[in-house]
Amino acid sequence: MASSAFPIEGGCACRAIRYRMTTAPMVVHACHCRWCQRETGASFALNAVIETDRVELIQGQPELVDTPSHSGKGQKIWRCPTCRIALWSHYAGGGETVRFVRVGTLDSPDAFPPDIHVFTASKQPWVQIPAGHKTFEEFYNAKEVWPPEAQARWKATRR
CA 6, distance to chain mean position in Å, is 17
- Return the H-helix or E-strand segment holding 144: helix 142-145
Nearer to Zn ion, 8 or 80 (CB): 80
For 33: left if phi > 0, alpha if psi spans -120 to 50, otherwise beta; the answer is beta
Q: How far is the CB of 152 from Zn ion (least distance, A)?
A: 25
Nearer to Zn ion, 8 or 33 (CB): 33
Question: Any contact of residue 36 with Zn ion (CB under 5 A)?
Answer: yes
Q: How far is the CB of 17 from Zn ion (least distance, A)?
A: 6
- Which of 6, 16, 129, 142 touches Zn ion by CB under 5 A? 16
Residue 14 pairs with which residues in a beta bridge? none
- Which of 82, 97, 135, 157 touches Zn ion by CB under 5 A? 82
Residues 6+ apart with CB under 8 A from 104: 46
* Interface contacts to Zn ion, rule CB under 5 A: 12, 14, 16, 31, 33, 36, 80, 82-83
